[in-house]
Chains A and B, each alone.
Chain A
Amino acid sequence: MKLIVNKRFWVRSAAIIVILAFSVFLFFIGRQHTILVDNKSITINETEFQPLQLVEVQINKQPPLELAARDRDKYEATGQKHTVTIMYTDKTWEEHVIVRTFKVPLMQDMLIISIPALVGNPDSEQSVWLENYELPTYAMTAQPAEEHVVTDDFAGLI
């Protein structure tokens, strides 16, 4: 088959490129990440950060979550750029609000934000209080040895 390079060829090629670019765009804006917000004590560079007694956390414009000490909760968020807002009251009853924006690597499924580390280092790099999280193997449900795959349409009638 001979390849004919004419106006139609270029229009079609441009359309394919536009669709591919649009697909990449959709991939970026539609990628979902699970963001865990964790209010447990953490040690970074031999410094221990204690959990807050009560803290309100919000990711983007999703409903805020209230966490007590040693609490952990999760958000589902799409896209790569997010904002975390932390509201808490210190021992002198002074209210503090910390707002930080962070970026999530595209293929990272689950991340954890350490609230004590963020409150202790509000101006630090995101790598101090944000890290990749993988479910511990013991936390996963035991898989059945094998799952019976039904490929027969009429299996239900037998």
Chain B
Amino acid sequence: MKRDTVNLEPGIDQPKPLTPVSDDQRYIGASVPRGGIERLTQGLGQYVDDIELPRMAHVVFWRSPVAHMRINKVNAEFARAMPGVLLVADGQDLAKMCKPWVATLGHLVGMKSAPQYALALDRACWQGEPVVALVAETRAEAEDALAYVQVEWDELPSATDMLTALDPSTPLIHPELGDNLCFTRSLDAGQVDEIFAKADVVAAIDFEFGRHTGVTLEPRAQIAHWNPAEQRLTVYHSCQAPHMMQDLYGRQFGLPSSAIRVVCKDVGGSFGIKVHAYPDDFATVALSIMLGRPVKFVADRLESFTSDIHARHHSIKARIAVNRDGEILGFDMDDLTGIGPYSMFPRTSAIEGNQVVNLVGGPYKHKHYRAKLTVVFQNKTPTCQYRGVGHPIACAVTEALVDLAAQKIGMDPLKIRELNVIADDAYPTAGASGIKFEILSHQACLKKLRELMNYDALRAEQAALRKQGIFRGIGFATVIELTNPSAAFYGVGGARIASQDGASARLDPEGNITVLIGVGEQGQGTEAIYQQIAADAVGVDIAKVRVITGDTDVTPYGGGTWASRGAGIGGEAVLLAGQALRENIVKVAAIILKREGATLAVRRDCIVDASTGEELLPLAELGRIAYFRSDMLPADFTPELMVTRHYAQRDFPFIFTNGVQASYVEVDPDTGFVKLLKHWAVEDCGRVLNPMLVDEQMRGAIVQGIGGALLEECLYDDSGLMLNASMADYLVPMSAEMPDIEVAHVQTPTATSKLGAKGAGEAGTAGAPAAVMNAINDAIAPFEAHVFSQPITPQKVLRALGKVR
């Protein structure tokens, strides 16, 4: 395949510009600051909780206080008598309005789950499951009255430990399913036992990955407004996929989707937490329909911890086989993951484990791979897709095994990666798990990283410090990340989640461009890159471009934000729409100027002579004539100055990106404390639309990955009660303990689109836990100690060092 790999930073490889997207490309590829975010620096954004509607009421939920309980009776008369209370409803009430759902996907063969209701019907299956909804005039009145809701309940035996979920003695969470098994999958690329028997060295590791959660700083929030006169539902929602929610509300409430409008204004962080349909989302809609007035739900932080999805709870036994010369021969893995009592709607909770199976060993050219996945139900908060979805697990398993193998054969960890990554000229190809790669650049990235971090000098420094009793470590993580998904992700499995996205581009009379698109903004800079793309595609100043997202009444139909698709899928739709608009502008100009269209171009807000660049007609003048002086145009010609184009990636199931990260840490062997000294990332997301925004996606994602590696864990007691469900007790990264992060880019555009962009939002989270874990293990290597249980707390480090039990 033809390669177009360059480096943004000069001096490492021969810089070669990518083919420009337009003949006057000014913005794509430049670090343009995000337009329109001044409002967020002035406190003038509009998050859902900032919206106040006339007659708006407030809902709070009585949630299950235990992991598993039978609901005997709800006594609400005292609560109903409290000031301001409008409505108290239980599961039976809401089941009359909102159908239950079962979250499975057809292509995950054999997957099962149980019907789930907006409010628990007769049993609650996790601590935090909503049981009773109470609506009052104010939030304070609702919270006051909630204390008077009396639920008579009996605790039921629970299945909380995923390790024993399938034991015959463990209670069944849903007896009608026959067992606590949600999904299982086996993959065998062949000859694993023979290869492992013959290999010079086999390294095996038992991994633990703690359950953690997203902690969006803005909690989940929603206002549902049913207008009984219009028979129309409007939902203001802090979410990532407005069209998906529109479709789900329609299906669960038996409404046509044309009667439903979902509006996403500013979203205060999402990270996948806000791409799922939660029971309380449906409950809030039902309550608004019952009351005929707007109802607001804003999760408080304490209920966020037990009602937002959790993720990444895995127990994995894995092995790698290598030869003494460093050749990786194969991987063998057995993954057990616990997902809570229900598979989450509509994306399902089996995807994460499925990804781990697909991705382990992904960067390397070995041919032998065997994996087993077991996904079990448990009485804990449901888990589902959170930034990186399986990648952080798969990468940590792979990269820790590679490091342990390198250690056993006495090879440098960077060298073993250089030896084994799929070569940059070997694409297109497939990994041992069967995943298809269009084109990656592992070798270029490794080369760049080596220079970026000044590897040899760093090793020398590490060695010198060790002699002084300072234990520093260097860890690597080679990363692949799936982005730009086709319908293979959800659509083929029956989930009504759009893989395509549409964009409309309009020339306004004064020469401005308005872009409407279904992919919204949660802070990544999505709207900013669409401004850049549209400005270059049409040929206008970026200040003339306005991007409108997040309103199903207004934008073309689309999938929204997930699987790092905003730049690659949404961006391509904007490019195609912008280029089509430019063609139509030229048609109008040709008529006004009485010239051949082929001799004209649009550059810098003006129609120009394509060859000389002479300015012929400002866009504002073209707009004036087109919109207000149709009398000046021929009778058989009507300007079409608003166009819509759609894009779906159909060439590969996913477009993979790649990159490599390195972490430099210092471990205090007396306290077990880990100090993060520095982090480097070289990433290849294809054409970089805005280097600053890609850097910031990488940095933010890396820090979220570090959170999972070192700090974050939803801790439970044996009975299934979460022990640290507050922000004071659940640790997320703070600035003082995070390192500076240096980012560099290699650009290998995808040939599946004109834009050539791949996703960049999740690769940081994918690689950081592996890099940090490997660095810690490198630091404590002199003690012949290892730690493979995340989060790697000081206690676990000391345990590995044999200093505590």
Question: Are A and B subunits of one complex?
Answer: no
Q: Which residues of A contact B (CB under 8 A)?
A: none
